[in-house]
């Protein structure tokens, strides 16, 4: 394969539209209402297991709010400033990883946003009551809406991958879908990126999308990593 074909395609940018809702309809509806400026809770905590889609939802919500003209900041562990008075919307991913100083900073940011009618969206790997964080910060996180982001079922993942391939204009054979689902990380972004890569390689090499082609692409990608 040529070098170009060995590069894994970049996943599509997270949006509320390309998030596969599954059992998360209420959380998606609240985030969409928030982005549309509807009166609703401005502090939201999203938690779920790795691969559940919590980070996708966070970034999708922030992207929608940015598109609506809001001043948005996204922070991860170790990135939180002492305060961010220029932001109207703040997102914090993986709150369970914040050190003590970052927890203090988030507490201050929360209070600033509350006074300025800003928005805070935070993700974590468990409910607030089970986080090993400062008690005053845990209280703040539990004040707003708390949603568990539930991972897609196998049937949901299969349907989502097939729909994505169809949207790109090609049919993914069932045996290839099963092969990918058994070997690729559970998050949908990784699966979509691999579907994009398979589509590109099949067009470059004028080969059908088959299990042997999928196996070859996966092996070459693993060698590069």
Share of the chain above pLDDT 70, in %: 92
pLDDT band at 140 (very low <50, low <70, confident <90, very high): very high
pLDDT band at 3 (very low <50, low <70, confident <90, very high): very low
The residue whose two tokens read 């042997």 is: 212
pLDDT for 48 equals 95
Reported as half-sphere exposure (CB side, CA atoms, 13 A), residue 85 has a value of 0
pLDDT band at 225 (very low <50, low <70, confident <90, very high): low
Q: Same structural domain for residues 54 and 108? A: yes
What's the total number of domains in the chain? Answer: 2
Pick 78 or 92 by higher pLDDT: 92
8-state DSSP, 68 = T
Three-class DSSP category at 26? helix
Name which of 39-48, 74-83, 105-114 the model is least confident about: 74-83
Q: Same structural domain for residues 74 and 174? A: no
Q: Same structural domain for residues 81 and 32? A: yes
Last residue of a domain, one of 123, 148, 173: 148
What is the chain's mean pLDDT, rounded?
88
Q: Same structural domain for residues 139 and 203? A: no
Q: 157: Cβ–Cβ under 8 A, 6 or more apart, which residues? A: 181, 186, 188, 191
Residue 190 tokens read as 């990784």
Distance between CA atoms of residues 200 and 27, nearest Å: 34
Last residue of a domain, one of 121, 148, 175: 148
**4 belongs to a structural domain:** no
Q: Same structural domain for residues 94 and 53? A: yes
Distance between CA atoms of residues 17 and 11, nearest Å: 14
pLDDT for 119 equals 95
The CATH number assigned to the domain holding 38 equals 3.40.50.300
Beta bridge partners of 90: 73, 120
Q: pLDDT of 61-82, one tens digit each?
A: 999 999 999 999 999 877 787 7
pLDDT at 25 over 90: yes
Which domain does 174 fall in, by range? 153-224
**121 belongs to a structural domain:** yes
Phi, psi of 108 (to 5 degrees): -65, -40
**Whole-structure pTM over 0.75, yes or no?**
yes
Distance between CA atoms of residues 20 and 149, nearest Å: 11
Q: Same structural domain for residues 144 and 158? A: no
Evaluate whether 6 touches 194 at the Cβ level (below 8 Å).
no
pLDDT for 190 equals 80
Q: 165: Cβ–Cβ under 8 A, 6 or more apart, which residues? A: 171, 172, 195, 199
Q: pLDDT of 155-173, one tens digit each?
A: 888 888 998 888 888 889 9
pLDDT at 43 over 50: yes
Distance between CA atoms of residues 109 and 89, nearest Å: 10
Distance between CA atoms of residues 165 and 156, nearest Å: 14
């Amino acid at each position: 394969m040529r070098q170009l074909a060995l590069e894994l395609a970049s996943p599509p940018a997270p949006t509320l539209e390309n998030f596969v809702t599954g059992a998360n309809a209420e959380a998606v509806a609240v985030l969409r209402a928030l982005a549309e400026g509807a009166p609703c809770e401005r502090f939201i905590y999203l938690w779920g297991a790795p691969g559940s889609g919590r980070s996708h939802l966070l970034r999708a919500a922030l992207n929608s709010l940015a598109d609506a003209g809001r001043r948005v900041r996204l922070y991860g562990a170790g990135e939180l400033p002492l305060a961010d008075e220029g932001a109207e919307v703040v997102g914090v991913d993986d709150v369970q990883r914040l050190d003590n100083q970052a927890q203090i900073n988030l507490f201050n940011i929360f209070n600033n946003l509350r006074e300025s009618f800003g928005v805070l969206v935070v993700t974590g790997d468990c409910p607030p009551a089970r986080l090993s964080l400062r008690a005053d910060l845990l209280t703040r996180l539990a004040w707003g809406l708390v949603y568990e982001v539930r991972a897609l079922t196998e049937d949901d993942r299969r349907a989502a991958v097939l729909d994505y391939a169809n949207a790109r204009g090609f049919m993914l054979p069932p045996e290839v879908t099963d092969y990918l689902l058994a070997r690729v990380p559970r998050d949908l972004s990784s699966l979509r990126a691999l579907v994009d890569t398979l589509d590109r390689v099949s067009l470059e090499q004028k080969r059908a999308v088959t299990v042997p082609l999928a196996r070859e692409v996966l092996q070459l990608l693993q060698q590069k990593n």
